[in-house]
Amino acid sequence: MFLISLCSLFIALPCFAYANEVNLENLSNQHLSNFSYNKLSEEDVRRILYKEGTEKEVADNLILKLKRGELWDSFKEEYQFLKPQINTNNFKKTLYPDGSFKIEEIKKLPTNDLQLRRKIISEDRVQVYRNWVVVNVYFEMSFLRNTYSGRALITNQTKPVIDIYDISGQGSVLDLDYGYIKEWRNPTYAWVSFYIVASTITDQVWLKGFVNGNGYWTESHGI
């Protein structure tokens, strides 16, 4: 089994939070030892590849690698130095030599109160998403933004949705943590963190969605 080193996980405060950044009483945090997730089929993986413009020959080779238990280049430590070829606040895509890729995206969603957009305090909702093709995760968060002070306040986060593919059929996702900071900050963020254990990969994964009065962006870690 290919094993990547794990960082420590704290239930009250995730290991990726900045030191002395947040008082615990100002956190909304959920920890689940048992939870449901979606198992991807080979056809699901192929559909995701084709959606991002992967050619059939490349997709066939990537699927064959999965069947042989071989790591894609996107999961190999030797390629983790690669920077995204497309890199904006809202969308990042890194393409690897064998045609595999990783995508981070934060999508703006519709809100009910359109009148707030004309005021100093605006209301927004986004979907925070990372696509590793065989390991995918997303959640939604709602927030208020103060365009004058630059601060933002997250008001809600949905339970994360996780999809994984494992050729052995025995892959699992463990120790799901997710939450957000419950105070006005510049910037502030919501997160999800979990462990994945599959036939070729064991790692901790986290994804953070940041927001302030001027915009939003993502950060992530794992495989």
**Pick from 214, 195, 218: which is nearest to 127 by CA?**
218
Give the contacts of 71 (CB within 8 A, at least 6 positions apart).
2, 65, 200, 201
* Distance from C-alpha of 16 to C-alpha of 14, rounded to nearest angstrom: 5
* Angle subtended at Cα 93 by Cα 32 and Cα 68, rounded to the nearest 5 degrees: 70
pLDDT at 1: 32
pLDDT at 28: 86
Helix, strand, coil percentages (3-state) for the chain, rounded to 5, are 15, 45, 40
pLDDT at 142: 95
3-class DSSP assignment, residue 210: strand
* Distance from C-alpha of 14 to C-alpha of 41, rounded to nearest angstrom: 31
Tens place of pLDDT per residue across the chain (223 aa): 333 322 333 333 454 444 346 667 778 888 887 778 898 999 999 999 999 999 999 999 999 999 898 999 998 889 988 999 999 888 999 999 999 999 999 999 987 655 555 568 888 999 999 999 988 999 999 999 998 899 999 999 999 999 988 766 666 788 899 999 999 999 999 999 998 887 667 888 999 999 998 888 998 877 6
One-letter amino acid of 130: R
Stated pTM of the model: 0.83
* Distance from C-alpha of 175 to C-alpha of 165, rounded to nearest angstrom: 18
pLDDT at 2: 32
Q: Phi and psi for 57 in degrees, rounded to 5?
A: -60, -40
Burial class (CB in 10 A: 0-12, 13-18, 19+), 207: buried
Say whether the peptide bond before residue 187 is cis (omega within 30 degrees of 0).
Answer: yes
One-letter amino acid of 96: Y
3-class DSSP assignment, residue 175: strand
pLDDT at 22: 62
Q: Is the dihedral of CA 38, 42, 43, 48 positive or negative?
A: positive
Distance of CA 84 to the CA centre of its chain: 15
* Distance from C-alpha of 211 to C-alpha of 171, rounded to nearest angstrom: 33
